[in-house]
């Protein structure tokens, strides 16, 4: 059993907000976390909208809510019943007894938009990602990097079952879930879309080129990217935009958020496969960025790249502070001249080179070599 970092935040939200939403991709642990919170809260009721008997219990929402006053009401896969948002709003506005409602949604952009409009001022959102390396402190970083953070993948008893779990997950998501969430593409086209994105992992997004390959306009391809980002499957990292004397790249980079899914799409089935793969550097970059962004969610992430090629993989900004991070897949990393010139341009508060080790030590000129866990512990001090 892994201790989710978001549990305390969700419990705090439930003590204040009438409605709390946990949003994230399927199988990332939303239901498990909700049931733990329910057990600790005492009196609760759980409904899964994919289960017909539970679905029917809400055929008269007003009667159901009023019959369960004072309980923690949990509604899973609520995107199936979007019409409930209006009923929930009416109930929380009129209920005389505190009756917190916890809703779970599997990555629906429409869900976020609908609930934000209908429940404005009444709802708090918590995004739940797959497990991160802090939550899996007893698992070697190389295992998490290879298998990703989905519980079904990381807890599989062997690598073959982990590979199979992710293969089936991708197939199910492509064939059933994404069309249900509103993407207007056939399964074969969605497969092609994911293949294109996986080959662009950790690269600058060229909407025109990718749209041409996919057979759509750059505007349409941008729409697919926006949809998949809203579905928590990919992350676009925006470029640094502060005024400098340098000409900066202005196009975002794209990453598949889960390293295990990226490896499945690239047919990487073992750590040896990963070590010999041409995209190992891209893989580590995406993995490290997702770990950092999921844990340090209160920092603003971006990347820095000049038209001359000087770059820093990740910048974290908050309250006037800048942390510069270079990401290297080697355990004995070396950085380029472009990194040092970028450091000179930006004068960051702190600078790190993060690689797959379990240590932290000074490098030179106030730059530290660090593992991900050690970096996160250092920043959270």
Res 245: pLDDT: 62
**Length of the chain in terms of residues written:** 381
Res 131: pLDDT: 96
Question: Pick from 200, 373, 206, 238: which is nearest to 315 by CA?
Answer: 238
Low-confidence ranges of the chain (pLDDT < 50): none
Topology, domain 6-127: Rossmann fold (3.40.50)
CA separation (Å) from 315 to 48, 126, 324, 337, 344?
40, 23, 5, 17, 14
Res 115: pLDDT: 83
pTM metric for this prediction:
0.93
b/e map 83-119, b = 16+ CB within 10 Å? ebbebbbebbeeeeeebbbbbbbbbbbebbebbeebb
Domain chopping of the chain, boundaries: 6-127, 141-379
Check: CB of residue 291 under 8 Å from CB of residue 376. yes
Check: CB of residue 235 under 8 Å from CB of residue 255. yes
Res 1: pLDDT: 62
The pLDDT tens digits of the residues spanning 5-20 come to 899 999 999 999 999 9
Domains 6-127 and 141-379 equal at CATH topology level:
no
Res 330: pLDDT: 96
- Widest CA span in the chain: 67
Which architecture characterizes domain 141-379 according to CATH? Answer: Orthogonal Bundle (1.10)
The tokens describing 173, both together, are 């998501």
Q: Report the distance separating Cα 312 and Cα 360, nearest Å.
A: 19
């Amino acid at each position: 059993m892994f201790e989710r970092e978001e549990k305390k935040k969700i419990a705090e939200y439930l003590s204040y907000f009438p409605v709390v939403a946990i949003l994230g991709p399927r199988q990332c642990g939303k239901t498990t976390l909700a049931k733990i919170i329910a057990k600790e809260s005492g009196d609760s009721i759980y409904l899964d909208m994919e289960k017909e008997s539970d679905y029917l219990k809400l055929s008269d929402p007003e009667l159901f809510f009023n019959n369960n006053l004072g309980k923690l009401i949990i509604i899973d896969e609520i995107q199936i019943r979007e019409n409930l948002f209006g009923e929930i709003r009416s109930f929380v506005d009129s209920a005389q007894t505190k009756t917190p409602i916890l809703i779970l949604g599997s990555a629906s952009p429409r869900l976020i938009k609908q609930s934000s409009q209908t429940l404005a001022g009444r709802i708090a959102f918590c995004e739940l990602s797959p497990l991160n390396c802090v939550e899996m402190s007893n698992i070697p970083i190389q295992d998490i990097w290879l298998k990703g953070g989905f519980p079904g993948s990381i807890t599989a008893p062997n690598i073959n079952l982990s590979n199979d779990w992710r293969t089936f997950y991708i197939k199910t998501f492509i064939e059933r879930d994404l069309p249900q969430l509103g993407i207007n593409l056939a399964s074969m086209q969605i497969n092609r879309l994911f293949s294109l994105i996986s080959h662009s992992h950790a690269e600058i997004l060229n909407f025109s080129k990718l749209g041409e390959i996919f057979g759509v306009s750059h505007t349409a391809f941008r729409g697919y990217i926006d949809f998949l980002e809203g579905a928590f499957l990919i992350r676009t990292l925006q470029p640094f935009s502060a005024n400098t004397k340098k000409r900066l790249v202005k196009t975002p980079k794209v990453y598949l958020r889960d390293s295990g899914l990226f490896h499945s799409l690239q047919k990487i089935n073992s750590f040896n496969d990963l070590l010999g793969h041409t995209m190992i550097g891209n893989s580590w970059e995406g993995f490290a960025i997702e770990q950092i962004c999921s844990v340090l969610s209160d920092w603003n992430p971006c990347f820095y790249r000049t038209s001359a090629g000087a770059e820093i993989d990740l910048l974290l900004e908050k309250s006037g502070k800048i942390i510069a991070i270079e990401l290297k897949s080697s355990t004995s990393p070396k950085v380029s001249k472009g990194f040092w010139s970028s450091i000179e341009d930006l004068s960051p508060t702190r600078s790190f080179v993060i690689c797959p080790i379990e240590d932290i030590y000074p490098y030179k000129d106030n730059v530290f070599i660090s593992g991900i866990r050690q970096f996160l512990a250092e920043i959270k001090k």
